[in-house]
């Protein structure tokens, strides 16, 4: 964490009325963002969808699927102007705590190798590389591989 948070960020379930603000953040944070329809589908099928707010402002969100003792972090995003302040770590820990309460034992995620801050966050939180998905992500020059990371969250 490069700065101390001034107030206590709160996690709460994502609501449909959050989607306009989520899309503002998503479009500003990623060159290949999710669509609003993807977020709607995730909520519709019952994925674990959360937003992080601080002082009534949406600063981040996460989407995670859970099944048969495993969870998969599908999207973890912090508003670009709020990155580097520890929000991503708090959000990731919140998602994993939620998964743990649902008896999940192992967490998985994919990350672009070029996303150095995210890779560093995940490694510092105990994730390890367990695979590589070739040409998984769209990229300016074709496709980019994805690191597949996993972590035991029982302890």
Q: Please enumerate, by residue number, every residue annotated as part of a binding site for acetyl-CoA.
A: 115
- Where are the chain's structural domains? 10-152
10-152 has which CATH code? 3.40.630.30
Provide the annotated active-site residues: 110, 122
Beta bridge partners of 86: none
Mean pLDDT of the chain: 94
Entry pTM: 0.93
* Per-residue pLDDT reduced to its tens digit, 73-105: 999 999 999 999 999 999 999 999 999 999 999
**What pLDDT shows up at residue 2?**
45
Confidence at residue 155, expressed as pLDDT on a 0 to 100 scale: 77
Q: Does pLDDT of 52 surpass 60?
A: yes
Binding residues, as ranges, are 115
Residues sharing a CB contact under 8 Å with residue 84, sequence separation 6 or more, in sequence order: 2, 3, 117
């Amino acid at each position: 964490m490069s700065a101390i948070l001034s107030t206590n960020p709160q996690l709460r379930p994502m609501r449909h009325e959050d989607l306009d603000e989520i899309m503002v953040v998503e479009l500003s944070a990623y060159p290949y963002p999710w669509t609003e329809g993807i977020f709607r589908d995730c909520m519709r099928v019952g994925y674990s969808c959360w937003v992080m707010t601080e002082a009534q402002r949406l600063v981040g969100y996460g989407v995670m699927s859970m099944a048969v003792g495993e969870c998969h972090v599908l999207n973890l995003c912090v508003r670009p102007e709020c990155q580097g302040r520890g929000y991503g770590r708090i959000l990731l820990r919140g998602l994993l705590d939620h998964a743990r309460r649902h008896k999940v034992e192992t967490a998985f995620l994919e990350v672009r190798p070029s996303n150095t801050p995210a890779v560093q966050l995940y490694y510092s939180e105990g994730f390890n590389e367990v695979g590589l998905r070739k040409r998984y992500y769209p990229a300016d020059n074709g496709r980019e591989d994805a690191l597949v990371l996993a972590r035991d969250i029982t302890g």
